[in-house]
Structure 1
């Protein structure tokens, strides 16, 4: 669910002092885009929003969430945006966030 080596790599890249801020920005931006997805009932911007979520998730090691976003992005690009299971994506983010927050102290080097 969480790729801890990537989390450690990011922490090393930005420094321990900046890491918490990066995590907070990630969480805020993901919540904002999820809100956009919920409001976009016609799914006109689903591909772009899922693309953003995929990239953000990859940068912070949210592997499963990223893969679900990638699958959804591909469906949307193929004209199958209505087939994307957004509820599963939302649920995976919530679960991944919980695992991330609970494991942060134990998994950072």
Structure 2
């Protein structure tokens, strides 16, 4: 499967086992819809608290579904915001999310079997 460090495939398999194969793909759909929406608004956020909240949401969602690199970069962003930085570029997060999403969707079919 693609995305060794990017995607924690053992976490993905664990989640599939926890929630069952039937509901697994529904969870993936909800995750992708919610994270797509949050990621899309990141570049337009000017309020530091809103940015921090969205980074926290993304980190938690990413950890839950095995998007390891995305979780890490969101955590780094959260730390920056907590240290008093009021602005940050969202481009790195957008890039990591896009690569992670592609790797995930490319590898998820293997888990469907």
Query: 1:26-75: CA deviations, max 9, x gaps?
Result: 00111111233222134441111100000000000000011000000110
Structure 2 residue 28 is matched with structure 1 residue 23: yes
In structure 1, the partner of 2:55 is 50
In structure 2, the partner of 1:75 is 80
In structure 1, the partner of 2:107 is 103
Residue number among 7, 11, 27 corresponding to 1:6 in the alignment: 11
Q: From the superposition, tell whether residues 85 and 40 of structure 1 become closer, same or farther in structure 2 (CA, over 3 Å).
A: closer
For 2:71 and 2:89, the matched residues in 1 are separated by 14
Q: Structure 2 length normalisation: TM-score?
A: 0.87
Partner SS state of residue 81, structure 1: coil
Work out the number of aligned pairs and report it: 108
Higher relative contact order (CA 8 A, sep 6+): 2
**Is the 1:50–1:72 contact (alpha carbons within 8 Å) kept by the matching residues of 2?**
yes
For 2:99 and 2:40, the matched residues in 1 are separated by 17
In structure 1, the partner of 2:3 is none
Q: From the superposition, tell whether residues 87 and 13 of structure 1 become closer, same or farther in structure 2 (CA, over 3 Å).
A: same
1:108 shift after superposition: 5.9
Q: Structure 1 length normalisation: TM-score?
A: 0.90
Residue number among 66, 75, 89 corresponding to 2:71 in the alignment: 66
**Is the 2:55–2:74 contact (alpha carbons within 8 Å) kept by the matching residues of 1?**
yes
5+ long unaligned stretches in structure 2: 1-5
In structure 2, the partner of 1:35 is 40
